[in-house]
Structure 1
Amino acid sequence: MVSFFSPYRHDFVRVAACVPQIDVANPDFNGERTLALLRQGDRERIALMVFPELGLSAYSIDDLLHQDALLEAVEQSIARLVAESADLFPAFVVGAPLRWENRLYNAGVVIHAGRILGVIPKAYLPNYREFYERRWFAPGATIRGQEIHVAGHATPFGTDLLFRSTGSCGFTFHVEVCEDMWVPQPPSTAAALAGAEILLNLSASNITIGKAEDRRLLCGSQSMRCIAAYAYSAAGPGESTTDLAWDGHGGIFEDGLRLAETERFPSASTMAVADVDLGRLRAERMRRVTFGDCGRVLDVVSTDFRTISLVLDAPEEALPLRRPVERFPYVPSDPAKLAENCYEAYNIQVQGLAKRLQSTGTEKVVIGVSGGLDSTQALLVCCRAMDKLALPRTNILAYTLPGFATSEGTKGNAWALMRALGVSAAEIDIRPAARQMLKDMGHPFAEGQPVYDVTFENVQAGLRTDYLFRLANHNRGIVVGTGDLSELGLGWCTYGVGDQMSHYNVNASVSKTLIQHLIRFVAASGDVDKATADILHAILATEISPELVPQDAAGQLQSTEAMIGPYALQDFNLYYLTRFGYRPSKIAYLSWHAWRDAEAGTWPPNLPAGAHRTYDLGEIKRWLRVFLSRFFTSQFKRTAMPNGPKISSGGSLSPRGDWRAPSDAAPQVWLAELESNVPDDEPAPP
């Protein structure tokens, strides 16, 4: 049984893009450096390794490629690699010049466990600017269904080869060579449509100013179009610098995401290593039906390729995960990316509300302002929308509606914010109406008993909504909702009231973790003065609470996260369940990797105090159990959610958009999978 603490247990496969140090026209030396990286890959339990184009001979040797002595030495080097691989775990691809039917081919040689599995010729040969490959090589684009003899082995030869592991570490890969990626229709496109999940590119690719970014663009875009992993390895230290230079650029990409990259211009052998998420790729291909449609339109079927089998069984021991995992998947840790996301999210909200006002012929909005995160962001959006429509901010009718547990701090923040933003501000104390309703119902609180049950809470929440809707009627406006994506996911919203119901909800697909950064974005944008920014920062520093139940005898505030779990963890769970459909054990594994210690995972900048804490596997499992139970039993609330713009590629929960599910589905399957496959104890440190 593969350990829970191994990425191989959770649909990952470890891949390396290798750049060995080489010596020009010295196959023995080059084979030795290749073998050294292979042995390192075996120790690190790497399943698949790709090496540079013509790496056994060197790329930059010009007419030496036509020397018999060199070509024979290359085959001897291949023979040694085949023999030495018998007891090594990785499958790997090396680049070599090989002869077939009186022509020379620039080829990739696939080797595993003492066998040559196949040879792939370079399909397209560059013959422009600094490249003269047609001088030495024949193009391989039309070679299919052939066989070649290499180092005493007869093996399949052609561009029609797929390689499939049938062991417990199962995946399918394809090989192309350098220029093949730069053409309008790379061979890997058809291979991906035929089932290849990992695409390998052996490259030489000399370096010029700006070319590294071109490579990243090509590799990332090809991985995204093909919904695949793309591993790229370029020539590095040791190639001839007679006329060219080489930066040893290797990288691994997954559906557009760069997972790992080598240090460029290395002085010794190096490699980039990453754990590719096959589960994510397979789920995306299944979900994105146009991927399969494209294969049918282009008439690409698996039978267009010869499939070569190999057996790779997943290592059973615990292994570290070799890929970045964002602790906050809705909030990128890269400051530049976060700033761009906040700019886009804020303006999507503003545009959505502005369009709704224009389409309904409405010039006024009504909003409840609590002094908390959600209503603060919604109010900021209302202000910007009014500015955009050249309407006065006094058309925003903002109300603070204090109840039995409203604190002076939050009410003070609400008033300070409303005044600072120049909206029409008012206060309606809901307590008299709430007491009357509780009395009419015969609730014990009306008789002086401190009974703070769900009825007590929802009478307050419902009255706030009643007032807002009737105020909208009275003033010919619409109610702007404030409830966020995280609350909808957890069902932490009362059905039919303000955090679930409104005329238009600008926060509907904004997670709680992102809303904090949107407020910071506005505070730093220059759209508000320093005094207003200070108010926003005071709101950010306030503990999240519904403020529906009075503080206890010890002065403890009603804490949202103490009841439903930390939003940091629950947003993580929400993202991976709804965006990728991961099983709970995989979500728990990723969460444990991201949150187990202060050095793991990635942090976005400017987090609030207390956000840099860690969670052990027991806590992660506990709160994931809470999330699953609440998520499924609360679907009926999401089915009736109002309109609101989709913000993030992480998805929304609108029944008209990303998430459509029955309201009566039960969580037992997910809870059982969690209990069966996630241990309660963590492994002892090594």
Structure 2
Amino acid sequence: MSSAPADQLLIALAQLNPVVGDVAGNAEKARAARVEAAGQGADLIVFTELFIAGYPPEDLVLKPAFQLACRQAVEALAAETADGGPAVLIGSPWVEAGRLYNAVLLLDGGAVAAARYKVDLPNYGVFDEKRVFAPGPLPGPIAFRGVRLGVPICEDIWTPDVVECLSETGAELLLVPNGSPYRRSVYDERMNIAVSRVVESGLPLAYVNQLGGQDELVFDGGSFVLNADRTLATQMPNFQERIRLTRWERWADGWRCETSVRAPLLQDDEADYAACVIGLRDYVEKNRFPGVVLGLSGGVDSALVAAMAVDALGSERVHCVMLPYRFTSNESLSDAAGVAEALDCRYDIVPIAEAVEGLEQVLKPLFDGRPRDVTEENLQSRARGTILMSISNKFGSMVVTTGNKSEMSTGYATLYGDMNGGYNPLKDLYKTQVFRLCHLRNRWKPAGALGPDGVVIPENVIMKPPTAELRENQKDQDSLPPYDVLDAILERLVEREMPVASIVAEGFEAPLVARVERMLNIAEYKRRQAAPGVKVTPRNFGRDRRYPITNRFRETV
């Protein structure tokens, strides 16, 4: 390396939270960020993939009116760059020659100075981009004030071809706009991919990722810069909006980013908890609900959801309702009250006996002569669901449902009862992790959480045996295997798609594995009617795992 740099470039990385479909709002957010970047002396500000539209826009992007609105917003932003301030690199849908592209546009000197189109359109897991976009041609670099910028878009760096083309055609550094959603282990995967492209190309790389919740997906940010020698020049935090100015210098052997703040990243259970909070917060905020209401049973699931809701929205926007029946224990009443008190949120008790017994009386002529069974148990759950939905209708708050992934997997939930609701932050968390997150929240909370410090879920809530309390002395494990065993089997069936025989070969009892696999299969019709919820595992129910409801295939053990 020579003794002094020959040139400098100041690039602002914008890790922000756009709203799908809010073209005007996203453009205003970009304007405000550009003003901030200008105050820092930036030459260029880089936004994330499809920032103007919000990501993922799904079939909304096929509407001609939406395409036009996005183009007009980009052109208006471009005109403003005639002021001599920072240039803008921003993602947007872009129609050219009758084809719709996932594009990144360089706005500079009052015009759209360059456009590059995403080449590698992902079509797996949560992604369906081949459904809506045309693939772009292999790109060359963008000329920007004497620098040749390579701009691969998100998936374009997950295989070597696009970066190889950019390197061979003279790119000097790589700026990568991303819409990469959170899932466990994603940080190592991203970093390994980025390092591979840096090693292959010999070019430094800035990875700029979206932040915020969009329906089931949470975008965690975590943007970073790698120099050509693979050193980490800067690391932005995850789950927080940030604009970070990076200083680049051109030396004899190429561009190098000056080392700056390297924020620690939340990992594992902490990252999952933060993802659930931001997913719930953004679902409520972006859909303009005034707050949320939930049934607080005294159990661990509803207690964790209440804590997440208060962390997301503040205690004044969370309404907890205990809905007791004759099987509700005094312990549950006390525990529910303790959770509400610790979280300082509104708490009401609405007994459901009259509703349940009224339904039983209405059905008595039809059910005459038949023994009581799960039907009567489900009436309790459905009465609760109706009451919560009525509170939602009257006051406008969204019902948050509280079922975990163990229950969603096995069908241990009641349609139009405890499954009622608009959103479920626990939907992709197994029961064993629910317990872990309760312990975690009692000693820690993420940055920006609005709930109180310290213990918010009383120890007795966590330690007592789980129960739906729909009959005398009922326990979950009257109907389900122990959760540590159940969750281990489910993780193999759902996340890993392991054959039943392979799971048995690992030491699990064959009849138990067959039983769990059967419960998983026959509960698909319930899952299709479940509320959306935060994705945290590599394979969630909904966007990732799409099984037919009518399905006679069964594995033999």
TM-score by length of 2: 0.50
How far is 1:588 from its partner? 1.9
* Deviation by residue 1:546-597 (Cα, 9 ceiling, x = unmatched): 11002xxxxxx2121231211212211211112222110111222x2xxxxx
Residues 315-326 of structure 1: pairs in structure 2 closer than 5 A: none
Contact 2:406/2:431 (CA < 8 Å) preserved in 1? Answer: yes
Of 540, 543, 548, the residue aligned with 1:652 is 540
- Cα distance between partner residues in 2 of 1:490 and 1:408: 29
How far is 1:666 from its partner? 2.6
When residues 453 and 339 of structure 1 are mapped into structure 2, their CA distance, relative to the original with a 3 A threshold, is farther
When residues 624 and 338 of structure 1 are mapped into structure 2, their CA distance, relative to the original with a 3 A threshold, is farther
* Deviation by residue 1:380-435 (Cα, 9 ceiling, x = unmatched): 11100113xxxxx1221110001231111112100111122111100000012111
Match of 1:483 in 2: 403
Matching of residue 572 in structure 1 with residue 494 in structure 2:
no
- Cα distance between partner residues in 2 of 1:576 and 1:501: 28
Match of 2:503 in 1: 587
Contact 2:422/2:531 (CA < 8 Å) preserved in 1? Answer: yes
Residues 505-584 of structure 1: pairs in structure 2 closer than 5 A: 505-525=424-444, 528=452, 532-533=455-456, 535-550=457-472, 557-584=473-500
* Deviation by residue 1:470-508 (Cα, 9 ceiling, x = unmatched): 10111111001101111010011112222x231111111
Of 278, 288, 292, the residue aligned with 1:351 is 278
Match of 1:427 in 2: 349
Match of 1:397 in 2: 319
Query: Which segments of structure 1 move beyond 3 Å, counting only runs of 4 or more?
Result: 443-447, 526-530
When residues 338 and 511 of structure 1 are mapped into structure 2, their CA distance, relative to the original with a 3 A threshold, is farther
How far is 1:340 from its partner? 2.7
- Cα distance between partner residues in 2 of 1:579 and 1:368: 29
SS of the equivalent of 1:440 reads: helix
Of 442, 455, 460, the residue aligned with 2:375 is 455
Name the Cα RMSD after superposition: 3.1
SS of the equivalent of 1:495 reads: coil
When residues 624 and 398 of structure 1 are mapped into structure 2, their CA distance, relative to the original with a 3 A threshold, is same
When residues 465 and 584 of structure 1 are mapped into structure 2, their CA distance, relative to the original with a 3 A threshold, is same
When residues 435 and 488 of structure 1 are mapped into structure 2, their CA distance, relative to the original with a 3 A threshold, is same
Matching of residue 372 in structure 1 with residue 292 in structure 2:
no
* Deviation by residue 1:648-667 (Cα, 9 ceiling, x = unmatched): 22x2112xx11101112135
Match of 1:102 in 2: none
SS of the equivalent of 1:543 reads: coil
Contact 1:632/1:666 (CA < 8 Å) preserved in 2? Answer: no
Matching of residue 441 in structure 1 with residue 368 in structure 2:
no
Q: Give unmatched runs, 5+ long, in structure 1.
A: 1-188, 191-216, 227-336, 388-392, 551-556, 593-616, 675-686
SS of the equivalent of 2:400 reads: strand
SS of the equivalent of 1:659 reads: coil
Contact 1:438/1:446 (CA < 8 Å) preserved in 2? Answer: no
Tell me the percent identity.
21
SS of the equivalent of 2:495 reads: helix
Match of 1:663 in 2: 549
Contact 2:404/2:431 (CA < 8 Å) preserved in 1? Answer: yes
Match of 2:385 in 1: 465
TM-score by length of 1: 0.41
Residues 293-308 of structure 1: pairs in structure 2 closer than 5 A: none
How far is 1:622 from its partner? 2.7
When residues 490 and 443 of structure 1 are mapped into structure 2, their CA distance, relative to the original with a 3 A threshold, is farther
Matching of residue 503 in structure 1 with residue 440 in structure 2:
no
Of 520, 530, 544, the residue aligned with 1:641 is 530
* Deviation by residue 1:99-135 (Cα, 9 ceiling, x = unmatched): xxxxxxxxxxxxxxxxxxxxxxxxxxxxxxxxxxxxx
Contact 2:493/2:517 (CA < 8 Å) preserved in 1? Answer: no
- Cα distance between partner residues in 1 of 2:311 and 2:474: 32
- Cα distance between partner residues in 2 of 1:375 and 1:640: 20
* Deviation by residue 1:300-355 (Cα, 9 ceiling, x = unmatched): xxxxxxxxxxxxxxxxxxxxxxxxxxxxxxxxxxxxx9983121111111111111
Q: Give unmatched runs, 5+ long, in structure 2.
A: 1-159, 162-187, 198-263, 446-450
